[in-house]
A = this chain, B = another copy of it.
Amino acid sequence: MAEVEDKPVDEKSPGTEADDAFDDLYGLTEEVADAVDEALSANDQGRIRDLLEPLHAADIADLMERLTSGERETIVDSLGKDMDPEILAYMDYSVREDIVDYLDTDHLASLVTDMETDDAIDLLEDLDAADQQELLDALPADDRLIYEQGLSYPEDSAGRLMRHEAVTVPEFWSVGQTIDYMRSDESDLPDDFYNLIVIDPGRKPVGTLQLSKLLSTRRPVALSEIMEPDPKLIPLAMDQEDVAFFFRQYGLVEAPVVDDSGRLLGSITIDDIVDVLDEEHEDDMLKLGGVHEDDFYSDVAETTRLRFSWLLVNLVTAILASLVISAFEATIEQIVALAVLMPIVASMGGNAGTQTLTVAVRALAVNELTTANAMRIVLKEILVGGVNGIVFALIMGVIVWLWFGDPMIGVVIAVAMVVNLLIAGFAGTMIPLALDRLKIDPAVASTVVLTTVTDVVGFFAFLGLAATVLL
Q: How many chain copies? A: 2
Can you list, as one digit per residue, whether each of A315-348 has a CB less than 8 Å from chain B (1) or not (0)? Answer: 1001101100110010011001101111110111
Is A216 part of the binding interface, using a Cβ–Cβ cutoff of 8 Å? yes
Q: Given A21-B237, A249-B59, A251-B58 in contact, is the A343-B321 Cβ separation under 8 Å?
A: yes
In the assembled complex, A104 has its CB within 8 A of some CB on chain B: no
The count of chain A contact residues (Cβ–Cβ below 8 Å) is: 162
Q: Is the CB of B307 within 8 A of A355?
A: yes
Max chain B Cβ within 10 angstroms of own Cβ: one of A9, A210, A214, A278: A9
Is A188 in contact with B3, judged by CB distance below 8 angstroms? yes
What is the CB-to-nearest-CB distance from A313 to chain B, in angstroms, rounded to a whole number? 9
Contacts A277-B277, A286-B362 given: A249-B3 contact, CB under 8 Å?
no
Residues of B within 8 A of A145 (CB): 6
Query: A280-323: contact bitstring with B at CB < 8 Å (1 yes, 0 no)?
Result: 01101110111100111001100110011011001100110110
Q: A236-B9, A358-B290 are in contact. Are A26 and B246 (CB under 8 A)?
A: yes
Give the contact stretch, choosing among A41-49, A69-77, A129-137, A368-376. A368-376
> What chain B residues lie within 8 Å of A342 (beta carbons)?
339
Closest to A168 in B: B1
A-B CB contact pairs (8 Å), 11 listed? A4-B266, A183-B217, A215-B215, A248-B275, A253-B271, A274-B274, A278-B281, A290-B354, A291-B355, A304-B383, A304-B384
- If A56-B249, A62-B368 are given as contacts, then 12 extra A-B residue pairs at C-beta distance below 8 Å, sorted by A number, are A1-B181, A1-B187, A7-B259, A9-B236, A25-B246, A183-B215, A277-B277, A294-B359, A308-B388, A310-B355, A311-B351, A347-B451
